[in-house]
A and B are shown apart, each in its own frame.
Chain A
């Protein structure tokens, strides 16, 4: 199983930078710098600027999101911050407050 998993029940204060796929189930405060897919699962709490290629959010994010490819806010997601991505979807039931920049 390649990739990095920040499990539920763990807290990271600081910076995560990775070339792997990243799955966050726990809580992160600081900065998240990914190059591949970043998945913020249900129950996760992220207070950080997040960057990556493909971002999937089911949990809570407070901070700016910057994706090279796409951002998907799924049902149950709660995002406060600006989103910058080529493609951006918000599913029914996702909460979102912030600006969107889709490189129009």
Chain B
């Protein structure tokens, strides 16, 4: 209890925060955060700083790189512009990221990591987490997964690993008739 620091909603800190405590940020921080503990950026939190900590949990906005010794967790509502680096990275549905993601145990598994990381780098739009999480968190399940999972899910997992082509082949027959109907409907109305 005594070791938890709270940056309240009406508080702005400009400068460097360091120490060995947990940090709960609901206000603004501008500068640098280097803490040996858990950093939580709340829904109202606005951080414009590089964050280094053991665990980083984000529900608010962060502009800066996040490096964690254990875990980076972006929860729904998180907005992050910057790179993520941690042994475990989770990005929840509804979290937005723009930047490089490096999940896994550092240099040795760098080849595995490069795939999911390439996506947000190449296409700096809003990246939704579940895909990154699947590829990053369960590399060992690649082989058994398609056998167990029903066909729809199997194509999805394949698509996320290789390219997006299997996904595109699936939907078009569904989409085209819908578009024709719509066009027809519009023409008739006019």
Contact = CB atoms under 8 A, between A and B. Distances in A.
Interface size class of B (residues with CB under 8 A): 20 to 34
B8 A3 contact: yes
Interface stretch (B12-20, B53-61, B62-70, B179-187): B12-20
Question: How big is the A interface, by class?
Answer: 20 to 34
How would you classify the secondary structure of chain A's contact residues: helix, strand, loop or mixed?
A: strand
Contacts of B21: 7-10, 26
Contact of A8 (B3, B13, B16, B27): B3
Interface stretch (A13-21, A49-57, A77-85): A13-21
Contact of B9 (A6, A10, A15, A20): A20
Contacts of A18: 8, 10-12, 27
B178 interface: no
Contacts of B8: 2-5, 18, 20-21
Contact of B23 (A2, A10, A13, A19): A10
Interface in B91-126: none
Q: Give the residue among A12, A19, A20, A21 with the most B Cβ atoms within 10 A.
A: A12
Contact of B17 (A1, A12, A17, A19): A12
B2 A4 contact: no
B31 interface: yes
Contacts of B19: 7, 9-11, 26
B35 interface: yes
A22 interface: yes
B7 interface: yes
Contacts of B27: 4, 18, 20
Interface in A31-90: none
29 contacts: A2-B8, A3-B6, A4-B6, A4-B7, A4-B27, A7-B2, A7-B5, A7-B21, A8-B2, A10-B17, A10-B18, A11-B17, A12-B15, A13-B15, A14-B14, A14-B16, A14-B31, A15-B13, A15-B14, A15-B15, A17-B12, A18-B10, A18-B11, A19-B10, A20-B8, A20-B9, A20-B27, A21-B8, A26-B19
Given A4-B27, A8-B2, 14 more contacts: A5-B6, A7-B2, A8-B21, A9-B19, A10-B19, A10-B35, A13-B18, A15-B13, A15-B14, A16-B11, A16-B13, A20-B9, A21-B8, A25-B2
Interface of A: 1-22, 25-26, 30
